[in-house]
Every structure is written in structure tokens, then in C-alpha cells.
Amino acid sequence: MLFNSLNFAIFLPTIFILHWTLAIRNNKKIQNILLLIASFYFYGSWDIRFLFLLIFSTLLDYFLGMKIFLSPQQATKKLLLWLSLSVNLGFLAIFKYFNFFVNSFTEGISHLGIHTSFWTLRLVLPLGISFYTFHGLSYIIDVYKGKIKPEGNLIEYGLFVSFFPLLIAGPIERANHLLPQFKKPRQFNYLQAADGLKQILWGFFKKLIIADNCALYTNIIFKNSNGYNGSTHILGAVFFSIQIYADFSGYSDIALGTARLFGIELLQNFSFPYFSRDIAEFWRRWHISLTSWFTDYVYIPLGGSRVSTAKKIRNVFIIFLLSGFWHGANWTFLAWGALNAIYFIPLLLLKKNRVHMNNVASDKSLPSLNEISQILLTFMLTTFAWIFFRSENLGAAFMYISRIISRSAFAVPQIENTRLLLVHFFIFFTIEWLGRTEKYAIASLGISWPKVIRWGFYSFIIFYIGMYMPTQETPFIYFQF
């Protein structure tokens, strides 16, 4: 079930009304059962077969977490931890990476003159498997390390793993943040719900107006690369860079806003990354929950930055390559990760990776010329890396880049009717800039305006979405991961 579908437009208000009707009796247990059933229905509406995989993974980690906590032997604890890691990562490997490894091995040995073929699996990648797998892994690892106690309530643990707003594309939650919220009685809070609706509205604007309209151009340019000159390829890369941000952060806004409707606060996943002044700041603001997950469960256990220079470089490459591989079974994602590691390492070695910890121009209306140049350079580097992310294979990526660095990069773009898209960009980035210090762009925008003007502004956004959203329904990019 897509957030931007008619089914969800019926599903969400129905569950909302039922949830708060139950709150009259102050019965959080029934509220949680309702949300769990709703979450299973939400997931099963895509493919009922994979609902059983989600349930199995949930039950496995629930019981293993209890066993790890109760076991007196450290060796037994470690064995149970590895059992969870093996099963969960095994499912991920089979569904997401098996064919990649088989095809890569076959292609590799063909260069040695050995030509053979191996059977591959015809499998559909379960929606959200990368996200709910990481939910379970963080829980098991935290229980093993003694950071948290295992959750004894199966309903509440199941809801932690499968809460429908975050189930398909995150954010990747932590047990110590989300589980306590399911344990508290929840009473309807008008201000929280209104804030959630505003965030949902802004998420839909980003998805339907910015991302989906960008997709109309990026899909054509990337799929017909040979038919366009270099300047058009530059536009295509820029459009995709904006598309993936608006698409994924738009999803996150809808997810966080939806959770607020039920009295739940999820982790912030984006913090205006395209206003970053270097790559290190970008990665503190982009897909925050994934970055922090790899930092806590991979980077720090490897020694983090408190090791020799050679190991620092190794650790950074491991993190970024894993991040790339997490996104998909393709060499393009590994190249994307490696390129970001190359961007990041000089900042780390020069100890400049934590220079920009505050919001850009936090005490000013406009950035300085130096800040503008830093933002533009960071955006250019990021956009170049996104070419690998978007391309179907490495050959297509290098072909795309070769067109950019040709003489035709200075020619007139071979794409028309972009004026309206540029208007969309102007409205979008202006509002994002004005709200860059908040959790989302319109959180406080206009809060001091007269009520009539403030509601006129929200009505304008709704009207704008209705006027300019594409008629074709486009899935969220991160649903494929």
C-alpha cells in the first residue's frame, strides 16, 4: 500500500478514528493490538506471502532476545546472537544478494577463460526487508551487550518491528526510543496531531510536486542517454539529485507525521542535507537513522576514528561500502559508496569532519558567499555520486559521465518545458531555507501569522499539489531497498 494511493487515503483515517475511540477507555493494550493488526494488513496488502516472513523474523528475535538475557553462559549468549545474525542476514542475502553474487562470480571467471553458468533464483524482493531486518538486529545486539532488557510483551515488540508508518522505508528505529512509547497510555493531543498533518502535507508536496515531476525528466534522460548532449545530462543528474531527496525525505515526513497522529514520535531522518557545507555535514543530515546505525554497530566496534590512520581509512571505506551495498545488489551502489568514502576521508584525516555542526547561516537570513560556494561544491560532489546510484550498471554510469565531460556540456540543453519545474524548485527551496532550523520546513513557518493567512498558506499547498501533481502514480524510490 503506497502512501500516495487511494487505499491509504481510506486506511489512515479509519485506523486513526478507531485508535482514538479506543483511547476513551484508556486501554493502550487494545490500541497496540489495533496498530499491530493494521500494520500487518498494511504490509500484507502488497503480498500476503511475505507477511509470514516478517512475522517469522519478529518471533525469532523476540524469543532469542529473551534467551540471550536469561542465559547464564556468555558462550551461549554469543551463539544465540550469531543465530539471529545468521538467520536475519541469511534471508537478506538470499532475497537481495544471491543472484548478484552468482552473476558476479560467473562474469569474473569468464575473464579467466572459464565459461559456465549457474542457476539463479527468481525471487521478488520483500518490501522493507532491509529496514525491518535492521530493526531486529539492533534490538538483538543491544540486548546482547546489556544496553537494554528484552521486551517481554510480544505485541509491543511486534509493533516496534512492524509499525506501519516506518515499515517500508524507515526511519530505522531503536528499541530504547520506540518501545517505551508503546508502553505509555496515549491520549489524543490536538497540537501533536495538527503538527503531524502539517508534516504529512509537506511530505506530499515534496513527493508529488518535486520528486514525481523530476522523475518525468530523469527517467527519459537516463534511459535515453545516447540521444542527449552533455548539458542535458547535467540537468538530468541535477534533477535526479533533487528527486531522490524530495522522494525519500518526503516519505520520511509522511511517516513521521503519520506516527504523530497516533501519539508516536519517530526518529528524524533528514535535516536539510542540501544546505550542507561539506560531505561530513551532508552525511549527518542525510538518512540519519541509517548513518547512525552503521556508526553504532559497525564503525565504533571497528575502533572508529580512535585508531591508526590506515585503520581510519579502512573503517570509513567499510562503512560507506556497506551503506552502498545495503541499498542494492549492484556494483553501482558500491561505486556510489566508495566515491562518498573518497570525499569523506580528507576531511577526517585533516580533522575537519566536525567543523560544521550548526545550521548554515543560523543567525542570518542569507548565507555568505563562502557558504554559498561550500553548499554548491557539496551539492555538485553529491550529484556526481548520484549518477552511479541512478544508473543501471557501471557501463551506463561511465557512459553518462563521458557525455557530461564532452564539449556538448556547453551546448543548449535538449529538453524543453522545464520552466514550471524551475518554479516548483524555487518555491520548494525557498520554503526549505526558511524552515531549515526546524524538524521539517513548515513546522513553524507562519505560526505567528493571523489564522486566516496561515490556513490560506496550507490551502495554497493543497491547491498547488492538486494542480501540478503528475497523473501517473510513482512508487517511492526507497521501496526497492
Question: Which residues are catalytically annotated?
Answer: 327
| C-beta atoms surrounding 430 within 10 Å | 11
Show the 3-state SS of the chain: CCCCCHHHHHHHHHHHHHHHHHHHHCCHHHHHHHHHHHHHHHHHCCCHHHHHHHHHHHHHHHHHHHHHHHCCCHHHHHHHHHHHHHHHHHHHHHHHHHHHHHHHHHHHHHCCCCCCCCCCCCCCCCCCHHHHHHHHHHHHHHHHCCCCCCCCCHHHHHHHHHCHHHHCCCCCCCHHHHHHHHHCCCCCCHHHHHHHHHHHHHHHHHHHHHHHHHHHHHHHHHHCHHHCCHHHHHHHHHHHHHHHHHHHHHHHHHHHHHHHHCCCCCCCCCCCHHHCCCHHHHHHHCCHHHHHHHHHHHHCCCCCCCCCHHHHHHHHHHHHHHHHHHHCCCHHHHHHHHHHHHHHHHHHHCCCCCCCCCCCCCCCCCCCHHHHHHHHHHHHHHHHHHHHHHCCCHHHHHHHHHHHCCHHHHCCCCCCCCHHHHHHHHHHHHHHHHCCCCCCCCCCCCCCCCHHHHHHHHHHHHHHHHHHCCCCCCCCHHHHC
| C-beta atoms surrounding 290 within 10 Å | 22
113: alpha, beta or left? (left if phi > 0; alpha if psi -120 to 50) = left
Q: Which long-range contacts (CB under 8 A, 24 or more apart) does 5-11 make?
A: 5/473, 7/45, 11/38, 11/41, 11/42
| C-beta atoms surrounding 241 within 10 Å | 23
- The Cα 258–Cα 276 span in angstroms is 27
Contact 381, 387 (CB under 8 A): no
Cell for 8? 491509504
In total, the chain counts a number of residues equal to 481
Task: Report angle CA 309, 311, 92 to the nearest 5 degrees.
Answer: 145
